[in-house]
Amino acid sequence: MSVEKLIFEKSSAGRRAATFPVLDVPAIDFLPKESRRASALGLPEVSEQDLVRHYTRLSQRNIGIDTQFYPLGSCTMKYNPKVNEDMAARDGFRNIHPYQPDSTVQGALEVLYDMEHWLAEVSGMDAITLQPTAGAQGELTALLVAKAYHDSKGRKPRKVLVPDSSHGTNPASASYCGYIVETVKSLPDGTVDLEDLKPRITEDVACLMMTNPNTVGIFEKDIPTIATWLHAVDAQLYYDGANLNAICGVARPGDMGCDMMHFNVHKTFSTPHGGGGPGSGPIGVKKHLLPFMPVPRVTRQDGHYALDYSQPQSIGRIRTFYGNFGIIVRGLVYLKSFGGDGMAEIGKQAVLNANYLLALLKDTFHSPYGDRCMHEFVLSLTDFKKKNDVSALDVAKRLADYGYHAPTVYFPLIVPEAIMIEPVETESKETLDAFAETLKKIMLEDPAVLHAAPVNTPVGRLDEVGAARNPIVRWQP
């Protein structure tokens, strides 16, 4: 395969794609000399055709849900319906400014208000804010809400508890906003070790962050007990919504005793992940936390929608404006396409697909958490590693040769040589069958072939250590 040059390497002075009409007002000298830029801009100069060819070719060096099965565990890579894109692209949504008077953006405010209602009903929470831009920012927002709540009671708990199977963002968000992080052990069955947890729950605990089903795909059935323990010391139970897809329409975090949670609209509600964003990470809370939610709040009175900034106990703003509006539109289209009557199909089909794929693979691979799962499952390749020196990474790379995106590997950290597979509900039985066949076939291949993989991709295995040791992070002439 040929290397695709950088756009800068296709540049030639004086070329350009976009042109602008002649200036139709008198030109004056508005910029004082001392404010003027002297250095070159360092931008490429290319024709429109070269620009189109370049980025089209780059796109062809990338795989997405539209081109390949993408069983990336914990990421819920479900099909992104095209109607979502069309609706978000409507002029009345794209070309409105966030500071327009409320009277000129009633439709946009209704979208926000409506989305809050849908998320509250699906989750069983009392109030929603759509402001957080991504899941991690949702976590941070919720932890700050908890902080403000405890402050209001004159309490200063310092600790946040996280299970050892949790997503990295949980402990990172907690320490990022000034909490001490304490890790809770898991049992061999993958659930939180209640004996390890109980003594840790003291008056000094602000919050426990749980993912349910957890990251190994097991439902934490003791969650109501855990909630009771936490509430006895006025600590908050946080629900990490990364795995909400498993229970969507079947069970609700709000009914499990959770006080606050985030949603990943870009996972559960099908908005595309954009190669690493934009996402949208709304949070939901129970009533007692409502006064501390970020401003503005969207209100409805006599059929008129408005933004309300008068929340004296609010933590303030977590970002500018009102959230990733364009993503929220897409998420709302998706939710409405299922409706109250169809919501349970999401969770049910996701769990069916995951269990089916696990059934196809459990005799070939070690499944540390048994033969049932929720929406995803984790396999361990320790046996292959010992026997053939074949690692989870080798298998991930080899899958690319057969036209699949890799599952998540080496996560969660508690499983050695982990492969985490989330097949999602939108995939057909035929796709799952073919994937399982391929995976089994790969395990019979010569280990040398796996070590050399991938060979059918635009580039072969890349030197990540070298990249970090000698960072080249920009093009230079």
For residues 287 and 336, which CB has a smaller minimum distance to other proteins in the complex? 336
For residues 201 and 328, which CB has a smaller minimum distance to other proteins in the complex? 328
Instruction: From 282-290, 349-357, 379-387, 414-422, give the range in contact with other proteins by CB under 8 A.
Output: 349-357
| Cα–Cα distance measured from residue 245 to residue 373, given in angstroms and rounded to the nearest whole number | 13
Is 416 a binding residue for other proteins by CB under 8 A? The answer is no
| Cα–Cα distance measured from residue 181 to residue 208, given in angstroms and rounded to the nearest whole number | 10
Instruction: Build a one-symbol-per-residue string for 80-119: x at contacts with other proteins by CB under 8 A, - elsewhere.
Output: x--x-xxx-xxxxxxxxxxxxx--xxxxx-xx------x-
Considering the complex, what minimum distance in angstroms separates the CB of residue 218 from other proteins?
7
Give the footprint of other proteins on residues 196-215 (CB under 8 A). Answer: none
Q: What is the dihedral of CA 402, 408, 414, 417, to 10 degrees?
A: 20
Distance of CA 138 to the CA centre of its chain: 11
The contacts of residue 150 (CB under 8 Å, 6+ apart) are 156, 157, 206, 234
Which alpha helices (H) appear in 273-323, and where do they start and end?
none
Please select the residue that binds other proteins; options are 185, 200, 231, 348, rule is CB under 8 A: 348
Give the footprint of other proteins on residues 265-284 (CB under 8 A). Answer: 266, 272-279, 281
For residues 111 and 197, which CB has a smaller minimum distance to other proteins in the complex? 111
**At residue 317, what is the residue type?**
R
Give the footprint of other proteins on residues 24-53 (CB under 8 A). Answer: 24-28, 30-32, 34-46, 48, 51-52
Q: How far apart are the first and last CA of the chain?
A: 25
Considering the complex, what minimum distance in angstroms separates the CB of residue 53 from other proteins?
10
Is 8 a binding residue for other proteins by CB under 8 A? The answer is yes
For residues 338 and 365, which CB has a smaller minimum distance to other proteins in the complex? 338
Please select the residue that binds other proteins; options are 129, 165, 169, 391, rule is CB under 8 A: 169
Is 299 a binding residue for other proteins by CB under 8 A? The answer is no
Please select the residue that binds other proteins; options are 178, 203, 308, 437, rule is CB under 8 A: 178
**Nearest C-alpha neighbor of 102 from the set 319, 298, 325, 294:** 298
The answer to whether residues 53 and 61 touch, using CB atoms and an 8 Å cutoff, is no
For residues 18 and 444, which CB has a smaller minimum distance to other proteins in the complex? 18
For residues 232 and 342, which CB has a smaller minimum distance to other proteins in the complex? 342
| Cα–Cα distance measured from residue 206 to residue 260, given in angstroms and rounded to the nearest whole number | 12
Give the footprint of other proteins on residues 117-146 (CB under 8 A). Answer: 118, 121-122, 133-137, 139-140, 144
For residues 276 and 387, which CB has a smaller minimum distance to other proteins in the complex? 276
Is 402 a binding residue for other proteins by CB under 8 A? The answer is no
For residues 194 and 386, which CB has a smaller minimum distance to other proteins in the complex? 194
Give the footprint of other proteins on residues 302-321 (CB under 8 A). Answer: 315-321
Strands 418-421 and 408-409: antiparallel
Helix (H, G, I), strand (E, B) or coil at 300: strand
**Nearest C-alpha neighbor of 335 from the set 127, 102, 87, 98:** 87
| Cα–Cα distance measured from residue 43 to residue 7, given in angstroms and rounded to the nearest whole number | 9
Considering the complex, what minimum distance in angstroms separates the CB of residue 408 from other proteins?
8
**Nearest C-alpha neighbor of 292 from the set 115, 125, 121, 152:** 152
The contacts of residue 270 (CB under 8 Å, 6+ apart) are 78, 79, 80, 81, 84, 330, 331, 334
Is 448 a binding residue for other proteins by CB under 8 A? The answer is no
Is 361 a binding residue for other proteins by CB under 8 A? The answer is no
